[in-house]
Structure 1
Amino acid sequence: MNDNDKQPGPDNGGNGNPWMKSLLIWVGILMALALFVSLFPSGGAQNAGTSIPYSAFLDRVEEGSVKDVNVAANVITGTQSNGEKFRTYAMNDPQLTQRLRKAGVSITARPEEGPSIWQYMLVQALPFLLFLGIAFFVVRQMQKGGGANGAMGFGKSRARMLTQKEGKVTFDDVAGIDEAREELQEIVEFLKDPTKFARLGGKIPKGALLVGSPGTGKTLLARAIAGEAGVPFFTISGSDFVEMFVGVGASRVRDMFEQAKKSAPCIVFIDEIDAVGRHRGAGLGNGNDEREQTLNQLLVEMDGFEANEGIIIIAATNRPDVLDPALLRPGRFDRQVVVPRPDIEGRIKILQVHMKKVPLAPDVDARTIARGTPGFSGADLANLVNEAALMAARKGKRLVANLEFEEAKDKVMMGAERRSMVMTDDEKRMTAYHEAGHAIVSIHEPASDPIHKATIIPRGRALGMVMRLPERDSYSYHRDKMYANLAVAMGGRVAEEIIFGYDKVSSGASGDIQQATSLARDMVTRWGMSDAVGPVEYAEPQGESFLGYSQSAPARMSNKTAELIDSEIKRIVEGGLTRARDVLTEHVDQLHTLAGALLEYETLSGDEIKRLIAGEDLGRPTDGPTRPVVAAGTSIPKTRRPQGPFGQPSPAGA
């Protein structure tokens, strides 16, 4: 048993059995209802028989049809000679008794019953008991201590302590971020054996800031630290501190540290700390007083006059640029640990962790899947494995095969297939040539990434897609690869123009044009890859502008420079257009072959495209050879090549 197992849970620690409490409450409610009902007479005697007027009652007495009567207060009930019961309300009639005796009616009387002494005392004491109940409830809520959701828990901390019963996480469950794990391993050693470092004058770190993109495993890494060290782990979100009332957040910070001191040594994990730790005094208007007071209290608690020995603050954010400098200095967050997206080796380890829970077919290779998922975070890979398992379950399979992983990868990266979307034959032909244009240019550009898959099945907002995957993780891009990407992006539009003519170019290349323009703009304004503009940054600063400063302020730009930048962007994009036209004009036969195969099979892998271009058989069952899309002997429309600066091409002639 470790320290976490000794913490009192909600079912122990002097709070009693909640089932027994509920039973006692319901018993008390039922007893109160019974006493309340008993205050009122049942009225059983009054409700017996048919109600008749008093005059009719006197007539029946004179007729001798009344057998007996029962007089109680102002109500008279009785029985007639025929056995029928009746009741009436008596008046102040002093001669009624004589009339009844004269008619020979049997008379019984019942005195008026008043409330008992207990009922009278209960009625008098009800308001006082109600007041005492309300006062007891309020006092109990005030003395609850730590009840953040109670009536008086407005300023209580909302931090939740995770115990080993909720799932212990260790470093074995964290894969793909070895550098970040090694950075935090020392904190675990501090918590396990602080005297080892105290002998040499070392002090335990006050805090560690985990910085990384969403889904990279920052929260999992923090839980692994607590699981390895075997200490209590408090978790809270930065947004749980801030309320609309000034001072509430600061009160919650104080209460959180009070709870942590009682469980020291412990770890307090603050997720999304940028919600409370933003730069103070920033913004166009007045600052947020509540958030700034909360931040001030957090700064004092982390490094004030009182040393919080044994309390380690671990925070996570994906926006370190907006945090207040006072929060980042040593003494508060001594370490800033970057949790990056995993490389291919890291993705292999992450996939192996998640694949342990899934029955796999023999053809599943984690390295192949990792190679095809560059840029995926740990959460993305977990989602990929889950999608593959769901697809296999929908098909009724007992094992998850490589086919399901490929389909899940396509769904995550390109969107779900829209097979219900009806496309005309002309639209299919246009899409097939468009995607074939991308693929042919990519094959003949040496610096381009290899093709992974080409499809004309609509996915997401695209009618078709050519997916390229790098052979290895890339951390920088060279000029030749950028020019190759520009040519590949323009390959679809050029293919439409060559095959269908200038007037038949569609709007399907809008996304390609946007991608090429964005790349060319970065080349000119950020990366200094234009000889005319030079190695000067003219790009707008990325990120939010409320900080009042920017880490990379752009150079001041004149109108002449802006015109030069626009002309250079246009020149670079049109250079990619020219390269794509040269490639497709030279290899137009391959364009026809690949477009026909896409119409025949709808989806082709990268290896199949290579075999098809080389003239080999794809090995797929088909009714006949791949049919060309344009009949043999049909003349291909020509476009006039631009001379000098790129201009509008002339309409396609016969």
Structure 2
Amino acid sequence: MIRRRPTSPAARLKRRLRPKRPASLKISARHVRRTERTDDDDDLEYLDAIPEYGAGTPRILLAKAVLAAAIPSEVKKAFKARLPIIVLVDAPTVVWTEAIAAQASVLFPGVRVISATKPPARGTTPDCPPPTSPILAVTPNRSWLSPAAVAAADFSFRLEVRPASVAQAIASFCGRKSCQVTASDYASLDLTDLAFAMRPNSTPEECVERMHRAIRSRASATPTDRTAELSQLAGFGEAAQSMRLIALDFVSQREIGGNIVLPNILLYGPPGTGKTTLARSFARTVNAPLIQTSVAEWFTSSAGHLGDVASAAQRFFEQATALAPSVALIDEIDAIPNRETMDDRDRSWWTPIITGLLVQIDQLRARSRGVVLIAATNHKSKLDSALIRPGRFDLHIQIRGPQTEKEIEGVFRHYLGDDLVDDDLTAAIRLAGKPTGAIIEAWVSRARDEARRDQRILSFSDLVAIIAPADKRSPQEIEEVALHEAAHAVVACALGLEVISASIIDTETSGGVTELGHGSSIFSRRELECRAVAILAGRACDERLSRGPTSGAASDLWKSTALVLDIHSRLGLGDTLVSRESIDAAHLSLDPHLRSMVEQDLRRLMNEARDHVERLEQPIRALAARLVRHRVVLANEIHGCLGGGFGERSSVSPSETAP
């Protein structure tokens, strides 16, 4: 008897889409025993009814398993009854969209399947046939579909790649009865990655291990090998602790499976404090792929036209979504200008870019795909207010750089690696002051270059020579600078101000510096005048203990004048309550009365500084001698020279300097 092959359109399409497979892989899905029982088991039974389900490539097996488990039972009934309904399926990526659409045509022969894998051509609107029969529309982005179809949809659901579906496909492909798979085994992998992990003559365990390798490869593609995990990161203080808590939430939600909902993060702080490093460390800690971009990259990766830049930004978000759970970093986001400060011409060009970026961020948040969006900036105040509002960037984390000696040493040890392991870095830390992580990295790199140039290993003296090069000033000039800075520190202590350190290291900006703490955020008039006296003490010391006033006190006069001017003009602490917020030193020449008040106060405070210098000459000279020997003295050493009898120290806080 001759058996004729079915000739219906559905049968021909099914034969065309069903690839051949090796005979060794012949196994029916009805013999595969599932190892976990979920609410979706009834949906998987629908898959078992498909003849010869096991006969397929990994891509087909995965697509069929995921689709059959995702379609609600009421939708299946409507499809069987050929009801004229419209069903929208949100696929994870374009690759999944193509595979799901192909398999939907096989699973549901009477359904019209539409797939949208790219935006419609410019100037056109996507069309949709009238729903005279069931329609299934699959896309990773609903804006690519017909607006009429989206508005008239009867059912819509998101396609979730569940462990049971992946386990079903792997077990069937490998000819096994069972397979253990968890959500973390394939997190951040696309359909192509999963298909590449499933190879002939492999066990399920080997397939899962290949998935693990793919995850590790994607997670370390951008961060360098020197990027430490958050637990090993030094010099970030509270910022690192905040990121650790988010990392714990990320990992726990990924282990559970399903949606990962975490806040978008804005990292801000001075240049070189390690914002990019912190983002990379976060990605390495959670073992997730890091997708990094910048506004400059959007321009350089395209022709630079408006549409090209917008498309480049969109590709960044699409890639982050495709690799989810992932970490997406927009570096130097302050390159996106603030619309409030732009002129009309710039605003007309930038508004589509900014609006598109805001829409992409909102869509990323709405999808809840497990993408942690991080933005980094040196200038938070310059960002568009709509960009950093809650709902777009919920968590703002300030990075100050290493503050304590322990944090500074930790950053040094990180960049030194196996070098100088047995050396005490106290002297180097003393000379370093308050460097950023980038400065420390540059110091270590330059020290290594010097040692390499001389064909020897790195020594501690190499590092010190880079941090604080030999002083080329004369002994007399060094002594004068030391007396000047010692006067700042000693008088400040006598007045109860916090002194963090004093240094006579010669830099491009100053020959020495004394660092004073800010103290409280609210000051009385007397507290501000005490700070002015401490600043003027340097010039008073030049007069009393050195060769007389010099140009080295120019910055002191500017700072003390600014303080007294604020007392009278901006803070309401003088003879008038009228506040002049925008006033600066240039207004003194325009207001003789204000100039007279400021001058009188400065002369009074200068006399007070002279009295303190005369009274404290001995401790000033003792501290100056220590400065000449060590070049840098810290707070405890300053109090040691004074016998601990002056002032009360407050907690360490952001500081100002008195040259």
> Does 1:443 pair with 2:500?
no
Question: What does the per-residue CA deviation read over 1:280-331, in whole Å, with 9 as the maximum and x for residues that have no partner?
Answer: 2533442344432122111222224973623332111122223223322333
Alignment of 1:63-74 (within 5 A): none
Tell me, yes or no, if the aligned pair for 2:491 and 2:537 is still in contact at 8 Å.
no
Tell me, yes or no, if the aligned pair for 1:418 and 1:458 is still in contact at 8 Å.
yes
Q: Are the structure 2 counterparts of residues 223 and 323 from structure 1 closer, same or farther at C-alpha, using a change threshold of 3 Å? A: same
> Does 1:179 pair with 2:238?
yes
Shift of 1:564: 5.6
Helix, strand or coil at the partner of 1:303: helix
Shift of 1:334: 3.0
Tell me, yes or no, if the aligned pair for 1:233 and 1:266 is still in contact at 8 Å.
yes
Shift of 1:396: 8.7
Report the identity percentage. Answer: 22
Shift of 1:221: 1.6
Tell me, yes or no, if the aligned pair for 2:234 and 2:410 is still in contact at 8 Å.
yes
Partner of 1:299: 358
Alignment of 1:414-429 (within 5 A): 419=472
Question: What does the per-residue CA deviation read over 1:66-99, in whole Å, with 9 as the maximum and x for residues that have no partner?
Answer: xxxxxxxxxxxxxxxxxxxxxxxxxxxxxxxxxx
Helix, strand or coil at the partner of 2:604: helix
Tell me, yes or no, if the aligned pair for 2:480 and 2:546 is still in contact at 8 Å.
no
Q: With the length of structure 1 as denominator, give the TM-score of the two structures.
A: 0.52
Q: Distance in 2 between matches of 1:287 and 1:315?
A: 23
Shift of 1:177: 2.9
Q: Are the structure 2 counterparts of residues 356 and 223 from structure 1 closer, same or farther at C-alpha, using a change threshold of 3 Å? A: same
Shift of 1:239: 2.4
Q: What is the letter of the counterpart of residue 483 of structure 2?
A: A
Alignment of 1:267-416 (within 5 A): 267-276=327-336, 278-280=337-339, 282-304=341-363, 307=367, 309-344=369-404, 346-365=407-426, 375-386=434-445, 400-401=459-460, 408-409=466-467, 411=468
Q: What is the letter of the counterpart of residue 562 of structure 2?
A: S
Partner of 1:489: 535
Helix, strand or coil at the partner of 2:261: coil
Partner of 2:28: none
Q: Distance in 1 between matches of 2:390 and 2:631?
A: 55
Q: Distance in 1 between matches of 2:434 and 2:608?
A: 29
Q: Distance in 2 between matches of 1:334 and 1:609?
A: 43
Helix, strand or coil at the partner of 1:509: helix
Q: Distance in 2 between matches of 1:210 and 1:373?
A: 25
Q: Distance in 1 between matches of 2:518 and 2:620?
A: 30
Tell me, yes or no, if the aligned pair for 1:358 and 1:389 is still in contact at 8 Å.
no
> Does 1:468 pair with 2:468?
no
> Does 1:258 pair with 2:298?
no
Shift of 1:481: 6.6
Helix, strand or coil at the partner of 2:284: helix
Q: Are the structure 2 counterparts of residues 265 and 354 from structure 1 closer, same or farther at C-alpha, using a change threshold of 3 Å? A: same
Q: What is the letter of the counterpart of residue 370 of structure 2?
A: G
Tell me, yes or no, if the aligned pair for 2:293 and 2:329 is still in contact at 8 Å.
yes
Shift of 1:272: 1.0
Tell me, yes or no, if the aligned pair for 2:501 and 2:514 is still in contact at 8 Å.
yes
Q: Distance in 1 between matches of 2:546 and 2:397?
A: 55
> Which residue of 567, 575, 592 maps to 1:532?
575
Q: What is the letter of the counterpart of residue 261 of structure 1?
A: T
Helix, strand or coil at the partner of 1:209: strand
Tell me, yes or no, if the aligned pair for 1:438 and 1:490 is still in contact at 8 Å.
no
Q: Distance in 2 between matches of 1:230 and 1:451?
A: 40
Tell me, yes or no, if the aligned pair for 1:594 and 1:609 is still in contact at 8 Å.
yes
Q: Distance in 1 between matches of 2:375 and 2:270?
A: 14
Q: Are the structure 2 counterparts of residues 338 and 475 from structure 1 closer, same or farther at C-alpha, using a change threshold of 3 Å? A: farther
> Does 1:510 pair with 2:554?
yes
Shift of 1:164: 6.8
Shift of 1:235: 0.5
Helix, strand or coil at the partner of 1:287: helix
Q: Distance in 2 between matches of 1:473 and 1:489?
A: 13
Tell me, yes or no, if the aligned pair for 2:502 and 2:515 is still in contact at 8 Å.
no
Question: What does the per-residue CA deviation read over 1:207-231, in whole Å, with 9 as the maximum and x for residues that have no partner?
Answer: 2222222222221121122212222
Q: What is the letter of the counterpart of residue 163 of structure 1?
A: A
Q: Are the structure 2 counterparts of residues 404 and 245 from structure 1 closer, same or farther at C-alpha, using a change threshold of 3 Å? A: same
Q: Are the structure 2 counterparts of residues 395 and 475 from structure 1 closer, same or farther at C-alpha, using a change threshold of 3 Å? A: farther
> Does 1:237 pair with 2:283?
no
Shift of 1:538: 3.5
Helix, strand or coil at the partner of 1:328: coil
> Does 1:194 pair with 2:253?
yes
Q: Distance in 2 between matches of 1:581 and 1:330?
A: 53
> Does 1:211 pair with 2:268?
yes
Helix, strand or coil at the partner of 1:337: strand
Shift of 1:360: 4.2
Question: What does the per-residue CA deviation read over 1:627-651, in whole Å, with 9 as the maximum and x for residues that have no partner?
Answer: xxxxxxxxxxxxxxxxxxxxxxxxx
Q: What is the letter of the counterpart of residue 460 of structure 1?
A: E
Alignment of 1:455-604 (within 5 A): 455=504, 459-460=507-508, 462=510, 464-465=511-512, 467-469=513-515, 482-498=528-544, 505-525=549-569, 530-533=573-576, 538-540=580-582, 565-585=594-614
Shift of 1:500: 8.2
Tell me, yes or no, if the aligned pair for 2:588 and 2:595 is still in contact at 8 Å.
no
Q: Are the structure 2 counterparts of residues 485 and 390 from structure 1 closer, same or farther at C-alpha, using a change threshold of 3 Å? A: farther
Tell me, yes or no, if the aligned pair for 1:176 and 1:350 is still in contact at 8 Å.
yes
Q: Are the structure 2 counterparts of residues 163 and 604 from structure 1 closer, same or farther at C-alpha, using a change threshold of 3 Å? A: closer
Question: What does the per-residue CA deviation read over 1:596-640, in whole Å, with 9 as the maximum and x for residues that have no partner?
Answer: x799x78766599999999xxxxxxxxxxxxxxxxxxxxxxxxxx
> Does 1:247 pair with 2:307?
yes
| Larger fraction in helix | 2
Question: What does the per-residue CA deviation read over 1:172-192, in whole Å, with 9 as the maximum and x for residues that have no partner?
Answer: 342333433343345434543
Tell me, yes or no, if the aligned pair for 1:453 and 1:603 is still in contact at 8 Å.
no
Tell me, yes or no, if the aligned pair for 2:188 and 2:324 is still in contact at 8 Å.
no
Q: Distance in 2 between matches of 1:449 and 1:231?
A: 44
Shift of 1:434: 6.1
Q: What is the letter of the counterpart of residue 532 of structure 2?
A: L
Aligned-residue RMSD, C-alpha = 5.0
Tell me, yes or no, if the aligned pair for 2:340 and 2:384 is still in contact at 8 Å.
no
Q: Are the structure 2 counterparts of residues 279 and 264 from structure 1 closer, same or farther at C-alpha, using a change threshold of 3 Å? A: same
Larger Rg: 1
Partner of 2:78: none
Partner of 1:644: none
Tell me, yes or no, if the aligned pair for 1:438 and 1:489 is still in contact at 8 Å.
no
Shift of 1:400: 4.3
Q: Distance in 2 between matches of 1:508 and 1:452?
A: 19
Tell me, yes or no, if the aligned pair for 1:244 and 1:290 is still in contact at 8 Å.
no
Partner of 2:221: 163
Tell me, yes or no, if the aligned pair for 2:267 and 2:376 is still in contact at 8 Å.
yes
Tell me, yes or no, if the aligned pair for 1:212 and 1:218 is still in contact at 8 Å.
yes
Q: Distance in 2 between matches of 1:473 and 1:221?
A: 27
Q: What is the letter of the counterpart of residue 264 of structure 2?
A: G
Q: Distance in 2 between matches of 1:205 and 1:592?
A: 57
What is the aligned residue count?
A: 425
Q: Are the structure 2 counterparts of residues 532 and 290 from structure 1 closer, same or farther at C-alpha, using a change threshold of 3 Å? A: same
Shift of 1:263: 2.0
Q: Are the structure 2 counterparts of residues 398 and 575 from structure 1 closer, same or farther at C-alpha, using a change threshold of 3 Å? A: farther
Q: With the length of structure 2 as denominator, give the TM-score of the two structures.
A: 0.52
Q: What is the letter of the counterpart of residue 557 of structure 2?
A: I
Tell me, yes or no, if the aligned pair for 2:533 and 2:606 is still in contact at 8 Å.
yes
Partner of 2:133: none
